[in-house]
Chain A
Amino acid sequence: MIETQSVSKRFGSLLAVDQLSFSVNPGEVLGFLGPNGAGKSTTMKMITGFIAPSEGRILVYGHDVENDPIQCKRQIGYLPEGAPSYGEMNPLAFLEFIADLRGLQGARRRQRLDYVIDRLALGSVLKQNIDTLSKGFKRRVGLAQAVLHDPRVLILDEPTDGLDPNQKHEVRDLIRDMSSDKIIIISTHILEEVEAVCNRAMIISQGKLLADDTPANLAAQSPGHNTVHLVMRDSSQAAELATALEQLDPPAKVQRLDDGLSLKAIPHAGRQILPQLQQLLVDKGWVPSQLYVERGKLDDVFRSVTTGARP
């Protein structure tokens, strides 16, 4: 388990992280969301022991990161932002170097090296200097390094940045595969990624924790959640339906578009509108030409939460 206890970080007069307290359990894949400069990377750097908090403390499986850094670092695999490595080495030599530092030996060393090279498809570039590799390969070398010792805690700062859609898919699969018994924390700008791999999302802005829930629950806070869009076959039906919806208890908000046929039924906050709407359609015997229910968008929630936080 990872626990941060009222952790703050100050850089001069800038308060980068402000009294952050949370804990993460094995099996959780936590996504850090937030605008640039929100304190995501700073928080990750503090958990991995690269920088020390100004206040508060961080425990990794009971070990204090500041007092017992080596024990903590052994349990963590970390991909820093930008996936830095040693450019003059080739991926094989680099991974062997990491394996040595991680204390991997004998058959297990060979087996883990083979596994990450295979899993991250590095076989074709093993003997090429890392400097000369594409951004996608560099990122995968960084990921391979992070998962090499099969750590209990995996901290990935923008793991899919610079990857093409296929590679993103592969990396997400990898994260999902490892998630059952590990603590995984990833930071990302890509909100669909959070929905794809995370079972918990935290929105951070200006160093403060603004939201902490499952991605689905967060998305449900979106104003557009459960809104029904439909297109009727003639305008009189559309008008009649709009009136009927507005007379429901509680009333739905209806917006009609200029073509006279399309309308948008926005339910009362936290409610559904689809069941009543279906009932109305069945009662009248109308068949709309198009109908779909809008899912909440994490984007909208993200925007409203992070901009609302600004003074």
Chain B
Amino acid sequence: MNAAMILFRRELRSYFATPVAYVFIVIFLLLAGSFTFFLGGFYERGQADLSPFFSFHPWLYLFLVPALSMRLWAEERKSGSVELLMTLPVTLLQAVLGKFLAAWAFTGIALALTFPMWLSVNYLGDPDNGAILAAYLGSLLMAGAFLAIGACISATTRNQVVAFILTVVVCFGFLLSGFPLVLELFRDWAPQLLVDTIASFSFLTHFSSISKGVIDLRDVLYFTAVIAVWLAANVVVLDLKKAE
């Protein structure tokens, strides 16, 4: 069996060996539910779709995913187990992938447990289930992007709180990069090309069409590229910082 798979299994199991998994899942489900019904006006809209549910996912992930990713490497560095891991016959890439995929699978489990939402909307009306499935996949993809950012930042520090805060800030920047709050920082001095590029990095923009059930290849590629770039950065950061 590939080393990345062995690490994946160990990591995923360790989530359920600690309260982390249960706390995360319960909070995620509670927040996802209450946002949909109270803020999203699920009933009041009178439409059989899940867009009030999905539209809050970026904001849920903004705080919950860093809470999950903060420990990925910071904890290994703090406890010293990174020294054990990195002296086993495992490559850096395998280690990074194993951990990332486990965290991603875990968010997938949390996301799958929102299925009562899907049951409700099917009970109440006649939704487009293809669009809902597409939105689920898009949401999972976006969670992966958040996680990849968080995993990389977690490798830069031994302190989980620092990892959490930095990840929230960076993810917030990515979420809102298409909005004036972020763009105004650059508009005065940066060339238009750079401003446009930054604007095109927005998670919200890329997620908005997916959340309505429209899978555009460009959005999928965008999130995949974000994941790949941050995981590559994770490998580099880990190599530089593992022994500190």
Binary contact readout B157-199 vs A (1 if CB under 8 angstroms, 0 otherwise): 0000000000000000000000000000000000000000000
Complex Cα–Cα for A4 and B6 (A): 32
Binary contact readout A66-82 vs B (1 if CB under 8 angstroms, 0 otherwise): 00011001101010111
Q: Which residues of B contact A69 (CB under 8 A)?
A: 91
By beta carbon, the residue of chain B nearest A73 is: B89
Q: Which residues of B contact A45 (CB under 8 A)?
A: 83, 243
Q: Does residue B121 face the partner (Cβ distance < 8 Å to A)?
A: no
Binary contact readout B51-95 vs A (1 if CB under 8 angstroms, 0 otherwise): 000000000000000000000000000011101101111110000
- Contacts A45-B243, A70-B91 given; does A84 touch B79 at CB 8 Å: yes
A101 close to B89 (CB less than 8 A): yes
List the one stretch of A85-93, A179-187, A239-247, A272-280 in contact with chain B. A85-93
CB distance from B127 to the nearest CB of A (A): 40
- Contacts A49-B87, A78-B87 given; does A97 touch B6 at CB 8 Å: yes
- Contacts A50-B243, A51-B243 given; does A85 touch B81 at CB 8 Å: yes
Complex Cα–Cα for A88 and B91 (A): 23
List the one stretch of B10-18, B31-39, B203-211, B225-233 in contact with chain A. B10-18
Interface bracket on B: 20 to 34
A89 close to B84 (CB less than 8 A): no
Q: Which residues of B contact A76 (CB under 8 A)?
A: 87
CB distance from B238 to the nearest CB of A (A): 12
CB distance from B73 to the nearest CB of A (A): 14
Tell me which of B3, B84, B91 has the highest count of chain A C-beta atoms within 10 A of its own C-beta.
Answer: B84
B89 close to A74 (CB less than 8 A): yes
Q: Which residues of A contact B13 (CB under 8 A)?
A: 93
Among candidates A81, A87, A102, residue contacting B88 with C-beta atoms closer than 8 Å: A102
Among candidates A70, A74, A87, A101, residue contacting B79 with C-beta atoms closer than 8 Å: A87
By beta carbon, the residue of chain B nearest A72 is: B89
Complex Cα–Cα for A22 and B20 (A): 47
A84 close to B80 (CB less than 8 A): yes
Complex Cα–Cα for A118 and B150 (A): 41
Q: Does residue A98 face the partner (Cβ distance < 8 Å to B)?
A: yes
Complex Cα–Cα for A78 and B82 (A): 13
Q: Does residue A100 face the partner (Cβ distance < 8 Å to B)?
A: yes
By beta carbon, the residue of chain A nearest B79 is: A84
Q: Does residue B99 face the partner (Cβ distance < 8 Å to A)?
A: no
B3 close to A101 (CB less than 8 A): yes
B81 close to A86 (CB less than 8 A): yes
A97 close to B84 (CB less than 8 A): no
Q: Which residues of A contact B221 (CB under 8 A)?
A: none
Q: Which residues of A contact B91 (CB under 8 A)?
A: 69-70
B14 close to A89 (CB less than 8 A): yes
B80 close to A88 (CB less than 8 A): no
Q: Which residues of A contact B6 (CB under 8 A)?
A: 97, 100-101
B89 close to A102 (CB less than 8 A): yes
9 closest pairs, A vs B, by CB?
A84-B80, A80-B83, A48-B87, A84-B81, A73-B89, A51-B243, A88-B17, A100-B6, A78-B87
Sample of 5 A–B contacts (CB below 8 Å): A78-B87, A80-B84, A82-B80, A85-B84, A103-B89
Extra pairs beyond A100-B1, A102-B88 (14, CB < 8 Å): A45-B83, A45-B243, A50-B86, A50-B242, A73-B89, A78-B87, A80-B83, A80-B84, A85-B84, A89-B10, A89-B14, A100-B6, A101-B6, A102-B89
